Structure formats: structure tokens, C-alpha cells
Structure 1
Amino acid sequence: MSKKPIAWVVDSTAYISDILAAHPDVHVVPLAIHFGQEQYADGIDLTSDELYNRIRNAEEFPKTSQPAAGEFAKLYEQISEEYEAILAVHVSAKLSGTISSSKSGAEIAEVHMECVDSLALSSGITKLVERGIVLQERGMHLEEIATQLRSEVKNLRNYILIGNLNQLYKGGRMSGVQFFLGSLLQVKPIIHLTEEGELKALDKVRSQKKALNYLVDKAVDAYEKDGVRSIDLMHGNIPDQVAELKDLIQSKVPGLEVRVGEISSVLAVHAGEGTIAALWHVPAE
């Protein structure tokens, strides 16, 4: 029996949309969440509700870790029995060593693979994979698809309202000075992923209401000035608040499609409950 052409691989920082969940050629590799000596596979051993409950009651914050190269190698060996090649899209290399483990795993397994650094996380990864699947359906081959996706990562726009500054700081993703000032002034920092895939402070507002209005304004500008027709709103366990945000955005730009989803548990460890991220890709000129 002939092999299928391409298997798609993402890590569990990605938002697993309905499209990805239903696609038979998409494989998800979980990162790990650690509570002391206990280890859980993201999205498998621990639900989001269980994670938030444990964080609320934990004496110390959990930690996360990337999959080992051996885990990737094992998966890639299995995949190679059914597929000719692999296209992996991973969380930004500036945020995690996952992509390095993935490449090492491919070398161990001796498989034909292209690996794309999304320079993003959550639905930023999702959008690239969904785009890649469309390109494959149009007849493009592995290397062509990978090249196209790498050219499109720079078109990602994202604005992130962190739910818990303390978790971001203790997870090593925020400097002590930024944390101190944010806590002292009760500032709501807006952060974003740069074109290099790094988390940087972008702006700051003084209230949750102003923070949400900030996201609304950015979404309206994206629609009116950049030709964006669909955006994603990712959240950390606040579905009602994000539903209201979606309604507010669409009341101003009815033609804008807004997809809502939850951040993965491994992202929730760092960003915290109450996080909201607005993400979209600007159409190529």
C-alpha cells in the first residue's frame, strides 16, 4: 500500500481547532506539566479545569518542560511507516526548546522532515498548519509548503493580556522590574510576540475595561486598514468574558469572523487564568 504524502506535527502549545482535531494527518506532541515530582502530559493527563484548580491550591507554581528528542523520534518512526514525509510546526524557539528536540528526534529516526518555527504560540501555530493543509490540497509539495509558511510567519499580529503577572514572572517569562512595576501600579500590561518570536511589553493600560477596549480597537484597525477578515480570541478559563468581547468586536465590524478557543494547559501555567490573546495573520500583499 502506498504511503500518504505528508504528516503534520504540532506541539501542545498550539490551539487544537476543530479542523486540526478532525484531520487524520495531524499529530500532537504534548509538553509536560510538573507539580513537584508529579508529571502530566499536556492535554492528556490533566484537563484545564483540573489545572486551574490545582494552581489555585498549590503551594508552589507548576513548571513545564519540552518533549525529549526520544519522544519525537519514537513518534516519527511510527509516522514514517504510513507517510513519506513530515511537516512540523512548533512554538517559537525563543520560548521553548521544543523545536530543537523535534529536529533531533527527526535525525535519530532518519525521516524526511521540514520543521517550521512559527515564531508564535497557540492559534498562531494553528493558522499556519491550517494554511499549510490548504496549500497541500492545492498540490504543493513539502518543501514548497514549508518555504511558504516560513514567509508568512512575519504576518502574525498578536496582542496578549496576561491573566496572572505572578505566574509569568515565576515562570521566567517576565523580568523582575516589569513584574514589580506592574504589580505596584496595578497596570494591565499588553504584551506581544515580536517578529523574532520573543515576548515583549507593548503597551499598558490601567483597567480591565480599557484593556478590552484596546483589543477591540486593534481588531477594528486590522479589519479596516489591513484587510483582515478573521481573528482568533484565545482565553484562559473566562469564556463569558471573551464571548462579550467577541460580540463587542462584531458589533463594530460585522464582517469580521471571530473564532474563540482556550489556551492550552501548558500556556496557562505561564500566562494564568484570565488571560486573553487576540491573534490574526495580515494577508500578504
Structure 2
Amino acid sequence: MKKKIAWIIDTTGFVTEEFKAHPDVYAVPLNIHFGTEEFIDDGVDLTNDELYQRMKESADFPKTSQPSAGKFSELYDKLKEEYECAIAVHASAKLSGTIASSTAGAEMSEFKVYAVDSLALSYGLSGLIERGLKLQEQGVDAEEIAQRLEKETANFRNYILIGNLSQLYKGGRMSGAQYYLGSLLQIKPIVQLTPEGELKPIDKVRSHKKAIQYLINHAKKDYEEYGVRRFQIMHGHVMKEAESLKQEVLKQMPEATILIGDLSSSLAVHAGEGTLAFLWRREDL
């Protein structure tokens, strides 16, 4: 007898230790390119330490690419022997072609896959899969789970403090003049994934301390008004800063539960070392 649902997450999401140990969760890695060299974003082919070292030293700006439809098809060919269907939660289609590759791979394999556009990155994907697994435990069928997850994308909140202006400059997302002035004035850009799944700058803050308080102020509003208690801090190779942010959050929101995790390599190449992302989900919308 086949199992009901396989769960798919791509590595723009945060692949938790629970996901790694879960028999029904499958992580599909993106690819990272330094010039002609290609690495798989699995934490083994290229570790976080190696990635950040290469980013500092390489003359080539790193790029990412989504898994091919063929890669997804290979996975789905295997899964259809064991599962009735799959639910695949992917990075925002505005930022990555991964969901298109996944859908094409499912068609090639003739396997029923409910592809959910998370309209997000990082824990925005992970939180939806956690929610989906709970719904499955409650006996909700796959189609309804996918429909509910698509609606729940509206609950995602995120504020991202870019840690390394030079990475944005190298990637062509900032002019030389902007980079010079930003560095000179110690401006801290804050960006956000919009409800439409686009990544946009929303503010610029002078000084790291003010930027940290900016993140906390937005979280505190939902903590007080909506009873949000679970938060996530994702960081770009700055565990001490992530821990410091956690302690400051707990001072101001003592009932909060906070998970800390690394930005995946496929996100780190764009956000840069030193980035801090503060994420949570409002359940009451």
C-alpha cells in the first residue's frame, strides 16, 4: 500500500534537522556557480565556511540556478512508486524558476504533485511544510492541504537586514555611487519579501543598533496585537549576531520562542555575509 503524501522543499528554504530526519520530506538542492565551477547546495558539496571564503576571494560573482525539470522528474519517478502524490513547496516564482522546473518534472513523470508557490524564501517555505504536516496528521487530504497552504502565504512576515553592501554591488543590484555613500554613511538597507513574492527595499537605517531595533519593533507589534510567539532568525554566517538579536528580542518579548538557522547557500550568495533576517507568521489573518 502506497503512502499518501511526499513533501518536497527546495534549498532556498531552511531545511531543518526535523526535515532531514523525516522519512517523507525530500530536499531538492539548487546549484551554485563560481565561473565554470558548479556546486550543489546541499551543505556537503560546498560548506557554509567554504562558500563565504570563496565569496571573499573569487573574482567571479557567484550565481545560482534552479534544479532542472529532469532532476525533478528523476525524483518523482522514484516517489510515484511509493506515494500517492506529493506536495512541493517552492521559492517565490518571482525570484526563482524552481517551481516551474518542479511542475514540468511532475508532468514528465506523470506523478500528481501539488506545487505551492510560497511567495517567500527561507523559513517562509519551511513554515508551510510544518503546517502541512500537521494538517496531514489531522486527516486533511492533499488537495485541501495545498489549498490551505496557498492561502496561508498571506500570513508570512519578514524583515531582512542586508549585511554586506559589497555583495549587492558585485551582483549589480547597487551602483558604485550608492555603494560608496552607503559604506561611508554606514547605511543599513532593509528589504522585504512582499505579499506578491517580490524582494524590495523598504527602508534604510543609520547604524546597526537602530536597524536591530527596527526589526524588533515590527515583530513586537504582532507579538502584542496578534499574540505571535514563534519567530525565526536566519543569518549569513554571523551566529553571534543572531544570538545577540535573540537575546534582545527576549528582553522585549519574554514569551517568544525563537529558532536560529543559517541562510542557505543559494540565498547567501545574494544577501551576503552578515545578513540577518527576522521572520514570523501571523495566524490570525
TM category, shorter: over 0.9
Q: 2:145 maps to which residue?
A: 145
Query: Does residue 1:116 correspond to 2:137, yes or no?
Result: no
- Cα distance in 2, alignment partners of residues 5 and 169 from structure 1: 46
Query: TM-score normalized by structure 2?
Result: 0.95
- Cα distance in 2, alignment partners of residues 179 and 27 from structure 1: 39
**% identical equivalent positions:** 54
For 2:88, the aligned partner's letter is A
Q: 1:19 maps to which residue?
A: 18
- Written as runs of structure 1 = structure 2, the 5 A alignment for 1:157-236 is 157-171=157-171, 174=173, 176=175, 182-183=182-183, 185-236=185-236
Q: 2:92 maps to which residue?
A: 92
- Cα distance in 1, alignment partners of residues 64 and 184 from structure 2: 27
- Cα distance in 2, alignment partners of residues 9 and 175 from structure 1: 34
Q: 1:64 maps to which residue?
A: 64
Are the equivalent residues in 2 in contact too, given 1:19–1:130 (CA < 8 A)?
no
For 1:71, the aligned partner's letter is K
- Cα distance in 2, alignment partners of residues 175 and 145 from structure 1: 40
- Cα distance in 2, alignment partners of residues 170 and 56 from structure 1: 11
Are the equivalent residues in 2 in contact too, given 1:235–1:262 (CA < 8 A)?
yes
* 1:197-233 deviation digits (Å, cap 9, x = unpaired): 0011111101111111111222222211222110100
Query: TM-score normalized by structure 1?
Result: 0.95
> What displacement does 1:243 show?
0.5
- Structure 1 regions of 5+ residues with no counterpart? none
Are the equivalent residues in 2 in contact too, given 1:11–1:90 (CA < 8 A)?
yes
Q: 2:40 maps to which residue?
A: 41
Count of residues in correspondence between the two structures: 283
User: SS at the partner of 2:277?
Assistant: strand
User: RMSD of the TM alignment (CA)?
Assistant: 1.5
For 1:266, the aligned partner's letter is S
> What displacement does 1:178 show?
6.2
- Cα distance in 2, alignment partners of residues 6 and 169 from structure 1: 43
> What displacement does 1:184 show?
5.7
For 1:104, the aligned partner's letter is A
Are the equivalent residues in 2 in contact too, given 1:156–1:282 (CA < 8 A)?
yes
For 1:30, the aligned partner's letter is P
> What displacement does 1:71 show?
0.5
- Cα distance in 1, alignment partners of residues 185 and 135 from structure 2: 47
Are the equivalent residues in 1 in contact too, given 2:226–2:284 (CA < 8 A)?
no
Q: 1:30 maps to which residue?
A: 29
